[in-house]
Structure 1
Amino acid sequence: MAVSVSTFNVNSIRSRVDLIVRWLTEKRAVDILCLQEIKCESEQFPFEAFESLGYHCAVNGQKRLNGVAICSKLPLSSVKTLFGNDTLDREKRLIEAQVGDTILLNCYIPRGGMEGEERYDYKMAFYDALRNYCKSLLDAGRNVLLTGDFNVALTDLDVYDPDVFEGAVGFLPEEKRKLKRLIETGFCDCYRRLHPKSRAFTWWDYRSAGIWRDEGMRIDYIFASGDLCEACLSAEVDLWTRRRRTPTPSDHAPLVATFSQL
């Protein structure tokens, strides 16, 4: 049975829940929804809205900032919100659950800053810690699906104009190296594997109304290991939620991938 998986930075789940429910009921009833930047404590998550649609939800929330969640129509087991690593556990940016035989990791990488700033160092350290954690899972022979907002556009194809982003946070050389090293632990980029030369973005600046000119970045990804990579049938950005005027959209759009099995 095919399984659809979406990653979506919602930029406040309580501000966006009506829009997401409309998307799930009117446009695309995905099987697994990985949410980032929910900006609420776990107990404030709108469980009922998702449970009424048949989802089981696991949440790692934080007051006003960060926070991640997994909502799945398939059973979730072995939910993990603490990883025994000071960098990964410093803020609520990572959640893990098992779906069938697959380990699903949903993350919200720090936005970072310019080199020399503490925010930059934290982002680099988070990438290193996440890479080491993923490597331990892959070395143990686990099937891993890694989703989320990685706050890095990897190549020139992942921004609308490389000259505009040169020297900017999210497109710095060391950031791209860190993301590449993470992928090289044993993942494929599902979208890029299926669309090797296409431009499709997942984030557009609110301030410039860039969505209407498609002036964006691809910073949200679904990475799959081994057999899961081969099982990926499709991957696309769904612009339906981002092009709404009401309810107010997130500055991101969901990326959706379909797998023949998990």
Structure 2
Amino acid sequence: MGSISVCTFNVNSIRSRVELILRWLNEKRPVDILCFQEIKCEAAQFPAEAFESLGYHVAVNGQKRLNGVAICSKLPLEDVKTRFGVEILDGQKRLIEAVVGETAILNCYVPRGGEEGSEPHTYKMAFYDALRDYAEGLLRRHEKVLLLGDFNVALEDQDVYDPDVFEGAVGFLPSEKEKLRALMAAGLGDCFRRLHPDERAFTWWDYRTAAIWRDEGMRLDYLLASEGLCRELQAIDVDLWTRRRRSPTPSDHAPVVATFGSL
């Protein structure tokens, strides 16, 4: 097998989005490894057959009506993990891990959080601390590591359409940025910025304001890779095809797709 494409996509309900995703895969962009967040269903309700019919292996860590993550891979999934031995990481279904080739892939749906001082904000901060601790162990065990998903933080001013608009907003708080930077400091590079250091590109746009058509968005979705894997990175972009559909109804996120020479 040549180059391998890997996608992170917050689908905001997989059962509502499966028709659109299959159209995207068949008509626009075949992808080797799909990592979904916010699937909003238990494993038994995940439309596994639709992906298996296209040759994917499927692994799911699902939760009724909320959260949930899944990996669908054309390459075999080994050592699939849905529990991590830490209460805050296991309490809600926000993580799934698998080894593909030589690469450990950890698919993450970080909590949205809330205003400073609120319980949701405290939860998000604690989740990030536990995620960093876990990532450090993963990086010790594997040379090639890929943490990807919806991290619910826009890291830099260029990751939002207008920093003044987002001043003090959830997802752009200094405390949140500090936690994401600390996670990356464990030994993970931002694949998008590696190849596009100055480009403004967003992955989420508010449904309520038709923001996609004015490109008034935030970059909340990332592929973070260890140096050993960053060296294999060939291309990465935000694919707007699904987000710009009017029917079937799109997610409020767009997929980010990276191509690696090998995993």
- The CA distance in 2 between the partners of 1:48 and 1:91, in whole Å, is 25
Tell me what 1:78 maps to.
79
- Show CA shifts across 1:62-111 (max 9, x none): 00000000000000010000000001001000000000111000010000
CA contact (8 A) 2:4 2:261 kept: yes
Query: Which secondary structure state, in structure 1, belongs to the residue aligned with residue 231 of structure 2?
Result: helix
Residue 21 of structure 1: how far off its partner (Å)? 0.3
- The CA distance in 2 between the partners of 1:140 and 1:76, in whole Å, is 17
Residue 142 of structure 1: how far off its partner (Å)? 3.4
Tell me what 2:63 maps to.
62
* AA aligned opposite 2:93: K
Query: Which secondary structure state, in structure 2, belongs to the residue aligned with residue 235 of structure 1?
Result: strand
Query: Which secondary structure state, in structure 2, belongs to the residue aligned with residue 245 of structure 1?
Result: coil
Q: 1:141/1:22 Cα in 2 relative to 1: closer, same or farther (>3 Å)? A: closer
Residue 140 of structure 1: how far off its partner (Å)? 2.9
- The CA distance in 1 between the partners of 2:18 and 2:215, in whole Å, is 25
Residue 139 of structure 1: how far off its partner (Å)? 2.2
Deviant stretches of 4+, over 6 Å: none
Query: Which secondary structure state, in structure 2, belongs to the residue aligned with residue 120 of structure 1?
Result: helix
* AA aligned opposite 1:90: G
CA contact (8 A) 2:143 2:228 kept: no
Query: Which secondary structure state, in structure 2, belongs to the residue aligned with residue 175 of structure 1?
Result: helix
Tell me what 1:123 maps to.
124
- Show CA shifts across 1:186-230 (max 9, x none): 011000110000000000000010000000000000011012101
What is the 5 A alignment of 1:1-262? 1-262=2-263
Once the two structures are aligned, what percentage of the paired residues are identical? 72
* AA aligned opposite 1:131: R
- Show CA shifts across 1:37-57 (max 9, x none): 000001100011000111011
Query: Which secondary structure state, in structure 1, belongs to the residue aligned with residue 106 of structure 2?
Result: strand
CA contact (8 A) 2:103 2:142 kept: no
Residue 141 of structure 1: how far off its partner (Å)? 4.1
- The CA distance in 2 between the partners of 1:91 and 1:221, in whole Å, is 21
Query: Which secondary structure state, in structure 2, belongs to the residue aligned with residue 18 of structure 1?
Result: helix
* Structure 1 alignment gaps of length 5 or more: none
- Show CA shifts across 1:105-129 (max 9, x none): 0010000001111100110011000
- The CA distance in 1 between the partners of 2:145 and 2:242, in whole Å, is 27
Query: Which secondary structure state, in structure 2, belongs to the residue aligned with residue 131 of structure 1?
Result: helix
* AA aligned opposite 2:8: T
Query: Which secondary structure state, in structure 1, belongs to the residue aligned with residue 139 of structure 2?
Result: helix
* Structure 2 alignment gaps of length 5 or more: none
* AA aligned opposite 2:13: S
Query: Which secondary structure state, in structure 2, belongs to the residue aligned with residue 35 of structure 1?
Result: strand
- The CA distance in 2 between the partners of 1:86 and 1:118, in whole Å, is 16
- TM-score between the two structures when normalised by the length of structure 1: 0.99
- The CA distance in 1 between the partners of 2:159 and 2:129, in whole Å, is 22
* AA aligned opposite 2:3: A
